[in-house]
Structure 1
Amino acid sequence: MLVVAGCSGGAGKENTTNKNAKAAEGTGEKVLTVANATDIESFDIQNNNNTQSEAVLVNMFDYLLKNDSSQKKVPGLATSWEQVNDTTWRFKLRQGVKFHNGDPFTAADVKFSLERLAKDSKLLQNTYYKRFKEVKVIDDYNVEIITDGPDPLMLNRLSRMGADMLPSKYIQEKGMDAFMKEPVGTGPYKFSKWLKDNRVEMVKNTDYFAGMPKWDKLVFRVIPEASTRVSELLTGGVDIASNIPTTDLKRIEGVNDMKVAQATIQRVLHLIMKTAPGSVTADPKVREAVDLAINDKEIVDSIVGGAGIPTRTSVTPGNFGAEPSLYNQYLYDKEKAKSLLKEAGYASGGPKVTFSTQVQYKEIAEVAAAMLTEVGFQVNLEVLEASKFSEKLNSKKFNELFLLGVGNSLFDASNNYNRFKLANAKGETDYNNPEAEELIQSAEKNMNPADREKQYQRVQQIFAVDRPTIYLFQLKGNYGVGSKVEYKPRLDEMYYAEDINPK
């Protein structure tokens, strides 16, 4: 039987690649090993807020609907659906599905999962689902989801992070703490082990409703340093390595039948700013100076080797509501940036700002910070490990500037503006533009696609002037692919193991 990869320790741990590879060879075990820069946040899939968590956990948990590789909605735990009216959708559930602990999947689990998500405001994914008013159980395999108003994004919501189905009986009897230690879903792979900031391991679910999974074991290793991820790929410690620097691509391509897979992904780099009174970035002239000081194209060419597309909007092509006039565009005028700072009252000694980033974007942030320094900003660059960065992000403890890579699992413009709505912006950007707020709120309930598209295009024009955030560029994902697997990256960045084939 094919041996795909061994399993080895995380960054900074003793390398046990050869030992584990031999063990796998001896047992004929088919193991898929993926190296990521960051870890999942937790197994409470309703309380995660990053794409990397979802990319891993889609193998343990199922949605009612799935997105195929072209983002078309296809059946998951629901076999069919229909819109009854503007506020009601009816879903027919798949029969014969079991959770990993043996409990049957029924309408009770849909009700428990979605109502918990909608009603608990402390959950990080609550804001996307709080308009779910009720899940009405018709019988064990038919449900209706009722919203508090028209929702043009119902199907988008049910096929993304947060809408994973939880085992209601298990959690109600054992409690959420027990679930977090021994999580169960309905997916093709079952929980085996989690060593925080090191690895997540899963084993195949032999009772999976869609048939026997193709891998015996999945290993998602956490390796923050890009050079280490590349080394592990080259030595056979991993089969797929994410976020490969362009400077390392030549080390991989063609070496021992390895290759590089590149794909445009949904992720756009934002430089998000505080607009609250009292912050130096509350002044629109200072925010514009930040925008004009940073040469997006130079960063794309020199730091990411061309693996990016400059943009003045985060609603990129392929997402509903895109504004083409702001895509593949950037502003750069160093002298005007200096002039704006003088107009803002910083004739001698520029404004002091703390610029926070996670280690994944360290080089990009260093270059951007140097550009800001050149026009007069006094920059304190704060580089954080992924877990510390997530902690600060979720508690809204950043200062003037922070660099964030934001994906779009909804494939809709609304996902890009959720954090800037008045209620959500409080304590983070504190952004408050009445026209933008009205447009965002209205578009979320607008069932007329043509009108809704115009609303979001207007919001993008407002943001291009207000600058509560500055968009740098849309990323292209570089993946190193080992010689024993066939892998095609997805636009949504998910690792569906069943779509990754052993050679």
Structure 2
Amino acid sequence: MKRTILLAALVAAASQAPAKAQDLRIGLGSAITSLDPQFHVVGSNSALARNFFDGLVNQDDRQQIVAGIADTWHVVEPTVWEFHLRPGLRFHNGQPVEAEDVAASLRRVPEVKNSPSSFLPFVRPITAVEVVDASIVRIRTQEPYPLLPNALSRIAILPRTVEHADTAAFNDGSAMIGTGPLRFVRYAPGDRVEAEAAEPQPGAAPLPWKHVTFRFLTNDAARVAALLSGDLDMIEQVPSADIARLRHDARVGIASGASNRIMYLHLDHAREHSPFVRGKDGQEIANPLRDPRVREALSLSINREALVERVMDGEGTPAGQLVPQGYFGFVPGIAAPKADLAKAKQLLTASGLPNGFRMTLHVTNDRYPNDGRVGQALAQMFTRAGIQTQLEAQPGSVFFARASNLDYSLIMGGAAAETGEASSVLRPLLATWNPQLGDGSGNRGRYSNPRFDAALHAALTTVDDAKREALLQEATSIAIGENAVIPLFSLANSWATAGKVHYRPRSDGYTLAINATIGDTGGN
């Protein structure tokens, strides 16, 4: 009887104790191109890196700026910022984090070789980095740069000892030394990254996970199957077609949240004759996409609610501008347009095209959720409005190179507000193309409006938050008023978990071990 009482007491104690650290196995929907956190601006790399590295400041689950390596910062004068480092921070190798490490990390960014998409634009405004003492760093910019903290949230802080390390040194693990909640163990390219819980930084709660494995499973069906078979504890990028079914599976929990990524259409504004636009008789015609009435007709022919409900299986929100509600620079008065075929046809007639015209819509078929299916639906909607539309869906490896080469007339793309505010999409997509200034880097339609540029550039140098937001809203209103691009819908981010694992969604779609917890029951 004593043994029975003791056993019962132990069971009761165990049921009241917090869950013990255990292994966490995660299925990722995209592979990475490198472990070097300063090598390639692409979502899959940045998301994985955030598990191992911190920025001078970080972004929280809704992309608001919060403490990272620094716990406080302020503007000394319009072109000088001062950052004070959190006391007691150490890199995974035990080395204390000091201001010289911050300076070395920022110096390394322009030295990274062969980057497909460099982090340089985030640090280009910086003219000097001054180490005041071990815990204070001052950063000078050429002109007032109010978005410096947002930009610095994208730059991983590394120990000064790896300032000159090449990208290969990160991929083999020798330079994988950060301050994040996970410590690197092993990388098998194309297969997995293995990690273990790092010693918690001062003030941080310990992870409930002892070991974490990130597996690259780009096939949607394989990712879902691995979760249901018990090979994984969690997956990201849940296929929208499977979400309804999985919600009714008692073994699975779904965590879903609004995304920072907007799907949109880019149109050829620059050329008098566009390569994939023809008259109904197949003959070359003046580029109708340059006419704002035609662009409005295209927008009004789109049933955004149907795209979200029928094609995206409800996983998204119709959009009328390039950042979701709640983001800095969002314009409250601009809603997603309602489909109006009658008005679309009236606008085509007013533009001198009562019988419409022919065009080809180019989209990816492997980059965004349901991208090929969305393209099919759009082509049908345009055709019903009188614009006979052919669809050509391509792998991203082909599409993006040709789109950047301006080979197309009308394309569908996706843009994420990665700094948590509107300029991060307005500047690359709509600023007049200027490689020297870094403007219009993704402006594949070559839209150009001096009034838009003036409002945007004024916003980028205005320190006062209220004035800066008003300028961003002005720039948005100008561009959207002309249908410079045509917003479609914002995506939703989703994760599926098994057993007692729960996940707290993030608007940037990052899958972070610190957002995964152990609960008493399965589901979310």
State the TM-score bracket (shorter-chain normalisation).
0.7 to 0.9
Which residue identity lines up with residue 170 of structure 2 in the other structure?
F
Deviations 1:252-280 (A, max 9, x none): 22524422222122221122233222434
Residue 508 of structure 2 aligns with which residue? 492
Whether 1:404 aligns to 2:413 is: yes
Q: Which has the higher helix share?
A: 1
> In 1, are the aligned partners of 2:495 and 2:503 still within 8 Å (CA)?
no
Cα shift readout 1:269-304 (whole Å, capped 9, x = no counterpart): 122233222434444444334323321111112112
Give the Å deviation of 1:195.
4.3
Select 2:440's aligned residue among 425, 429, 434: 425
1:335 Cα offset (Å): 4.7
Decide whether the 8 Å contact of 1:245 with 1:304 is kept in 2.
Answer: no
- d(CA) in 1 for partners of 2:93, 2:409: 47
Matched, 1:138 2:129: no
| 1:366 alignment partner, one of 361, 376, 381 | 376
1:33 is the counterpart of 2:30: no
Report the 3-state secondary structure (helix = DSSP H, G, I; strand = E; otherwise coil) of the residue aligned with 1:82: strand
Read off the aligned partner of 2:408 and give its amino acid letter.
Answer: N
- Contact 1:133/1:148, CA 8 A, preserved across alignment: yes
Matched, 1:74 2:85: no
Equivalences for 1:394-473 in 2 at 5 Å?
399-419=408-428, 420-422=430-432, 423=434, 424-425=439-440, 428-473=444-489
* Aligned residues of 1:274 and 1:468 also touching (Cα < 8 A): no
| Aligned-residue offset at 1:148 | 1.3
Aligned residue in 2 for 1:14: none
In the other structure, the counterpart of 1:111 is 103
Name 1:52's counterpart in structure 2: 44
Report 1:156-305 matches (<5 A): 156-159=150-153, 161=154, 163-172=155-164, 174-182=165-173, 183-184=175-176, 185-206=178-199, 210=204, 212-277=206-271, 278-279=273-274, 280=287, 281-305=289-313
Map 1:474-489 → 2, pairs under 5 A: 474-489=490-505
Q: Is the 8 A contact 1:293 1:332 kept in 2?
A: yes
Letter of the structure 2 residue corresponding to residue 290 of structure 1: L
Local SS of the residue matching 2:487: strand
Secondary structure of the equivalent of 2:333? Answer: helix
TM-superposed deviation, 1:472: 0.5
Q: Which runs of 5+ in 2 are unaligned?
A: 1-19, 275-286, 520-524
Contact 2:236 2:511 (8 Å CA) reproduced: no
The structural deviation recorded for 1:447 is 2.0
* Distance in 2 of aligned mates of 1:383 and 1:244: 22
- Work out the CA distance in 2 between the residues paired with 1:318 and 1:217: 36
Q: CA deviation at 1:178?
A: 2.6
Aligned AA (1:441): H
SS in 2 for 1:365: helix
Residues 349-360 of structure 1 aligned to structure 2 (within 5 Å):
350-359=357-366, 360=369
Q: What is the percentage of aligned positions where both structures have the same residue? A: 28
Write the distance in 2 (CA, Å) between the matches of 1:212 and 1:449. 36
What secondary structure sits across from 2:317 in the alignment? strand
RMSD: 3.1
CA–CA distance in structure 2, aligned partners of residues 391 and 96 of structure 1: 46
User: What is the distance in 1 between the residues matched to 2:467 and 2:200?
Assistant: 46
- Bigger mean CA deviation after superposition, 64-73 or 307-316: 64-73
- The residue type equivalent to 1:179 in the other structure is F
Distance apart, 1:340 and its partner CA:
5.1
Q: AA paired with 1:377? A: Q
User: Which structure has the larger Rg over C-alpha atoms?
Assistant: 2
**Equivalent residue in structure 2 for 1:155, among 138, 149, 153:** 149
- Cα distance, 1:196 vs. partner? 4.3
Q: Distance in 2 between the 1:75 and 1:348 partners?
A: 58
Partner SS, residue 38 of structure 2: helix
Please tell me whether the aligned partners of residues 311 and 326 of structure 1 are also in contact (alpha carbons under 8 angstroms).
Answer: no
Classify 1:223/1:297 alpha carbon distance in 2 versus 1 (closer, same or farther; 3 Å): same
For residues 346 and 166 of structure 1, what CA distance do their matches in structure 2 show? 58
* Residues in 2 aligned to 1:354 and 1:138: alpha-carbon distance in whole angstroms: 55
**Is residue 57 of structure 2 the alignment partner of residue 65 of structure 1?**
yes
- Classify 1:379/1:166 alpha carbon distance in 2 versus 1 (closer, same or farther; 3 Å): farther
- What residue is the counterpart of 1:306 in the other structure? 314
Secondary structure of the residue aligned to 2:209 is coil
